[in-house]
Amino acid sequence: MSFDRIREKLNILADAAKYDVSCSSSGGTRKNDNKGLGDSHSSGICHTYTEDGRCVSLLKILLTNHCIYDCLFCVSRKSNDVKRAAFTVDEVVELTMNFYRRNYIEGLFLSSGIFKNADFTMERLLLVCKKLRLEQNYNGYIHLKTIPGASDELIKEAGLYADRMSINLEMPTEAGLKLLAPEKNHADVIKPLDFVQKNIAQFSADKKLIKHVPKFVPAGQSTQMVIGATPESDKDIMYTANAFYKNFSLKRVYYSGYVPISDDTRMPVLGTQPPLLRENRLYQTDWLMRFYGFKVQEILNDANPNLDIDIDPKLSWAIRNMQHFPVDINKADYKMILRIPGIGVMSAQKIVQARKFGKLRIDQLKKIGVAYNRAKHFITCVDSPYQLKDYQGTQIKAFILAESQSKYLKTDSNQLILF
Amino acid sequence: MIYIFDGSLTGLLTAVFEWFERKPGSTSLKSMMLYQPEAFRENLIVATDQEKADRVWVGLQKKLKKDWLRKFYCTYLSEIPEAYDHLFQFTIYIFQNETGAASNYGNDHVMALSKYAKSVEREKHRMEAFIRFQKTGDGMFYTSVDPDFNVLPLISNHFKNRYADQEWIIYDLKRKYGLHYNLKTVEEITIDFASEVNQKNPGLLLMDEKEELYSLLWKDYFKSANIVARKNTKLHVKHVPKRYWKYLTEKQLG
């Protein structure tokens, strides 16, 4: 293989894969018990970060960017005039092994355009995984794309070698998807997600009865939605995410702000800034649902179909629900402490442990890591100053905005940053 | 009262033993290397004693859960002068209170250990992430580092488990020792670098013939994975502080 050709292929096929934002390498349980290469790290490792600040933990590439589909939001769509390339199975194996040996990566993220048909594509992906696991004794992470429409047998076999599998919903609603990719529908995504989920459940049930059951997608499944290409509300997006978390036990839902790559009139025009702040607020909501005990309906509902841009969703919820505050740090239960703006999971756990030894004071809260300037509007502790006046939610919002320096609001999100 | 110890973990634990022998009241602990005599405070130079240290360590193991023993060790590895005193006070506090006292985050020493340990664990994690091996002509994977804290003892197992089928060396230039994995065990080594050898990059001439190709491919990949429309330098530097760039193949020019 010539150096220049392999460099060119890597440039094309890494460039085409980068719009898939999943970067996680966590949840792997594979141990290096065959004196081979690689051992998973349960929380994952980000080996570097791109200049846009995204984590790089996996070698994220397409096997090929040839594709029979013409989805408007995708850079590899059939009608797009871009250079095409395809890796051989051995090239992917060699790149993965050599990058891994140098501690560049946690593993491989392999996706592909659909060439010929779904089964033909899935077979090639499976071949890469099998070579790595069986011939190279590779125990590093593998994130594999499930190709919608591939046969159950192929998907099931792939699950034996991959750590995580994913299929992208692409658009938050069926209507949005139909608008930009008439050939696709959500049902094609749901069927394999469901199939893999049922198998994961089956394997883990077997494991309780039988000692040696092979691993099946030990790091679970994830999906991705493109944000801002179609006119869905934040409520539409998060309700869909919530349903997928529930129905398919997904490990992660990713939200990818649309980066304009097409001049089609159905899409935002080229040069429009990707909606980074909105994306950030969606992730905050996702975290509130998964780690803070919030129900999606509390944050987004018919009265509030979109997230506030100027404040985060947790503060927003608190301001709308002042009847729950102030919370007594020394008495309230853990769940309520978690809901206080300015207190995160770690601080909340420390508070609950520390108060067994004596009532907590302001200076102790600060040392524990509470963002006190924010939290002070919502809490009382032993030495809280006596407050004569009951402030309204809107007043508190104004206080917080006045003294906080949002990293976003200084620059209008529609304004291009030159330097 | 000031106790002065030799800077070793054994010395630190001995100091705790001596304190309980004498009960001299409020005492602070300082490392010999950094000690400057004070006019109005008495001092005691602690004679490091393995047996006494072992007894303290066994006692600590009874009082602390695993996660706190780890925090204790990490804090020691931080090599920060004030951290030694916090370790000393923390240990006394733990022995003087009921089991479980380590979860009193309202206590200054508990909080201090929690913070030092967090910094050290973060540096350990960064080494696991940012180390880049170069393959030499004789098949060895080599890298040198100069971490903020003495984290080599903490990363040894990670690399041993992960790179079980390749020989590697991780060398700490600041503390002048390294780890060498010989396909069976990890051993501590010291290298006498000849003065003309560039320690950061000891001999491109000695590299495997494919080393340059893979470092080039990795740099290419790093560029291709970036989305220009989302450029966010502040976030980038927050995740990869500039002092780590020297380790990163993808951050080198050319």
Instruction: State how many domains chain A has.
Output: 2
| Claim to verify: residue A325 and residue A192 sit in the same structural domain | no
> Does residue B254 lie in a domain region?
yes
User: How does pLDDT run across B23-62, given as a tens digit for each residue?
Assistant: 998 999 999 888 777 777 888 999 999 999 999 999 999 9
Distance CA B156, CA B131 (A): 13
Answer yes or no: are the C-beta atoms of A34 and B243 closer than 8 Å: no
- β-strand partners of B179: B170, B188
Q: Tell me whether strands A58-62 and A107-111 are parallel, antiparallel or unpaired.
A: parallel
A54 assigned to some structural domain: yes
- What is the signed CA dihedral for B195, B196, B201, B203, rounded to 10 degrees? -130
Shortest alpha-carbon distance between residue B12 and chain A (Å): 26
Binary contact (A11, B224; C-beta < 8 A) = yes
Domain that holds residue B181: 131-207
CB B218 within 8 Å of CB B224: no
B6 with B42, same domain: the answer is yes
Q: Rg of chain A's alpha carbons, rounded to an integer?
A: 24
Whether residue B125 lies inside any domain: the answer is: no
Q: Which chain B residue shows the shortest CA-CA distance from A20?
A: B225
pLDDT of amino acid B204: 54
Percent of chain B whose predicted confidence (pLDDT) is above 90: 83
With an 8 Å Cβ cutoff, are A60 and B225 in contact? yes
Burial of B207 (0-12, 13-18, 19+ CB in 10 A): middle
The span from the CA of A68 to the CA of B144, in Å, is 48
**Measuring CA to CA, how many Å separate A216 from each of A124, A197, A207?**
19, 10, 11
Whether A367 sits inside 8 A of B111 (CB atoms) is yes
One domain for residues B220 and B178: no
8 Å CB contact of B220 and A38: no
3-state secondary structure A107-173: EEEEECCCCCCHHHHHHHHHHHHHHHHHHCCECCEEEEECCCCCCHHHHHHHCCCCCEEECCCECCC
Percentage of chain B beyond pLDDT 70 is 95
Distance of CA A157 to CAs A96, A136, A152, A168, B146, Å?
21, 18, 9, 20, 45
The set of residues, in sequence order, having a beta carbon less than 8 Å from that of A61 and lying 6+ positions away, is: A10, A13, A14, A17, A87, A92, A95, A108, A109, A110, A111
Contact A376, A315 (CB under 8 A): no
Say if A29 falls within a structural domain.
Answer: yes
How much of chain A is in helix, strand and coil states, percent to nearest 5?
Answer: 40, 10, 50
The answer to whether B248 faces chain A, any CB pair under 8 Å, is yes
Partner A contacted by B252 (CB < 8 A) = no
CB of A363 within 8 Å of any CB in chain B?
no
Q: Looking at the DSSP assignment, which residues form a beta bridge with residue B171?
A: B144, B178
Residue A413: predicted pLDDT: 47
Pairing state between β A164-166 and A141-145: parallel
Burial call B154-188: b when 16+ CB within 10 Å, e when fewer = bbbebbbbbbbebebbbbbeeeeebbbbeeeebee
Half-sphere exposure for A204 (CA within 13 Å, toward CB): 9
CA–CA separation, A3 and B221 (whole Å): 14
CB A62 within 8 A of CB A147: no
Cβ contact (<8 Å) for B158 and A11? no
Question: Given CB atoms, is B216 within the 8 Å cutoff of chain A?
Answer: yes
Considering the domain architecture, whether residues B36 and B90 belong to the same structural domain is answered as: yes
Q: Which of B90, B119, B148 is the last residue of a domain?
A: B119
* CA distances from residue A384 to A358, A372, A377 in whole angstroms, order as listed: 16, 11, 10
d(C-alpha A86, C-alpha A121), whole Å: 12
What six digits make up the tokens of A124? 């090639």
> Is A32's CB within 8 Å of B133's CB?
no
Q: Per the domain annotation, does B173 fall within a domain? A: yes
Does residue B210 belong to the interface with chain A, where contact is any CB pair within 8 Å?
Answer: yes
Asked if residue A276 belongs to a domain, the reply is no
H helix or E strand, kind and range, residue B223: helix B211-224
Q: Does B132 touch chain A (CB under 8 A)?
A: yes
- Considering only CB atoms, B106 lies closest to which of A52, A98, A354, namely A354
A308 φ/ψ sector (left φ>0, alpha ψ -120 to 50, else beta): beta
Q: What is the largest CA-CA distance in chain B?
A: 67
* Window 134-193 of B, Cβ < 8 Å to A: 134-135, 141, 143, 158, 161-166
HSE value, Cβ hemisphere, 13 Å, CA-based, for A254: 19
Q: How far is B184 from chain A (nearest CA, A)?
A: 10
Omega of the bond prior to B147 within 30 degrees of 0, cis?
no
The closest of B119, B50, B37 to B83, measured between CA atoms, is: B119
Query: B104 and B11, same structural domain?
Result: yes
Query: Which residue in the set A32, A49, A104 is minimally distant from B164, CB to CB?
Result: A32
Q: For B54-111, write each residue's pLDDT tens digit.
A: 999 999 999 999 999 999 999 999 999 999 999 999 999 999 999 999 999 999 999 9
Cβ neighbours of residue B178 closer than 8 Å, sequence gap 6 or more: B144, B152, B169, B170, B171, B172, B188, B189, B190, B191
B213 in a structural domain: yes
**Which pLDDT score is estimated for A392?**
85
Does residue B177 form part of some domain? yes
- Among the three residues B59, B90, B119, which one is the final residue of a domain in this structure? B119
Closest C-alpha to B135, from B161, B169, B159? B169
User: Considering the domain boundaries, does residue A242 fall inside one?
Assistant: no
The pLDDT assigned to A271 comes to: 81
Domain match, A194 and A330 both: no
Contact status, residue A29 vs residue A214, Cβ threshold 8 Å = no
Q: In what order do the strands lie in the sheet with A58-62?
A: A58-62, A107-111, A141-145, A164-166, A221-227, A252-257
In angstroms, what separates the C-alpha of A30 from chain B's closest C-alpha?
11
Contact B164 A37 (CB under 8 A): yes
- Residue A295 placed within a domain: no
Would an 8 Å CB–CB cutoff place B107 in contact with chain A?
A: yes
Q: Which residue has the tokens 């609950």?
A: A352
Asked if residue B124 belongs to a domain, the reply is no
Say if A284 falls within a structural domain.
no
Three-class secondary structure of residue A262 per DSSP: coil
User: Are B202 and B138 contacting, i.e. CB atoms less than 8 angstroms apart?
Assistant: no
Residues ≥6 apart with Cβ < 8 Å to A230: A171, A172, A173, A175, A176, A179, A180
Report how far residue B200's alpha carbon sits from residue B132's, in angstroms, rounded to the nearest whole number: 12
**Domain C-terminal end among B58, B91, B119:** B119
E strands, A271-390, where?
327-328, 379-380
Which chain B positions have a beta carbon within 8 Å of A54's beta carbon? 225, 227, 230
From the list B166, B215, B239, the residue facing A53 with the nearest CB is B239
CATH number (domain holding residue A98)? 3.20.20
With a CB cutoff of 8 Å and minimum separation 6, the contacts of A245 are: A253, A289, A290
Structure tokens that stand for B11 in this block = 């010395």
* Chain centroid, CA A19 distance in Å: 12
Q: Give yes or no for A270 touching B (CB within 8 A).
A: no
Q: Are residues A45 and A178 in the same domain?
A: yes
| φ/ψ (deg, to 5) at B151 | -95, -5
Q: Torsion over CA of A138, A142, A147 and A153, rounded to 10 degrees? A: 50
Structure confidence at residue A268 (pLDDT)? 86
| Beta-carbon pairs below 8 A across chains A and B | 162
Give the N- to C-terminal CA distance of chain B in Å, as an integer. Answer: 58
Contacts B223 to A, Cβ<8 Å: 11
In terms of domains, do B215 and B185 share one?
no
Q: How many domains does chain B have?
A: 3
Residue in chain B nearest A46 by alpha carbon: B129
Q: Mark yes or no for CB contact A50/B222 under 8 Å.
A: yes
Q: What is the pLDDT of residue A246?
A: 96
Q: What are phi and psi of A84, to 5 degrees?
A: -110, 150
Note down the domain range covering A154: 3-220
A94 contacts on B by Cβ (under 8 Å): none
Task: Return d(Cα A77, Cα A263) in angstroms, integer.
Answer: 13
User: In terms of domains, do B45 and B145 share one?
Assistant: no
On whether the CB atoms of residues B49 and B17 are closer than 8 A, the answer is: yes
Predicted pLDDT at B209: 87
Q: Is the dihedral of CA A414, B227, A276, A75 positive or negative?
A: positive
Q: How far apart are the first and last CA of chain A?
A: 39
pLDDT by residue for chain A (419 residues), tens digit each?
A: 578 999 999 999 999 999 888 888 888 888 998 899 999 888 899 999 999 999 999 999 999 999 999 999 899 999 999 999 999 999 999 999 999 999 999 999 999 999 999 999 999 999 999 999 999 999 999 999 999 999 999 999 999 999 999 999 999 999 999 999 998 999 999 999 999 999 999 999 999 998 888 999 999 999 999 999 999 999 999 999 999 999 999 999 999 999 888 888 888 888 888 899 999 999 999 999 999 999 999 999 999 999 999 999 999 999 999 999 999 999 999 999 999 999 999 999 999 999 999 999 999 999 999 999 999 999 999 988 887 677 888 888 888 888 876 655 544 444 455 55
Residue ranges of B 59-88 with Cβ closer than 8 A to chain A: none
CB contact under 8 A, B235 and A15: no
B40 touches chain A (CB under 8 A): no
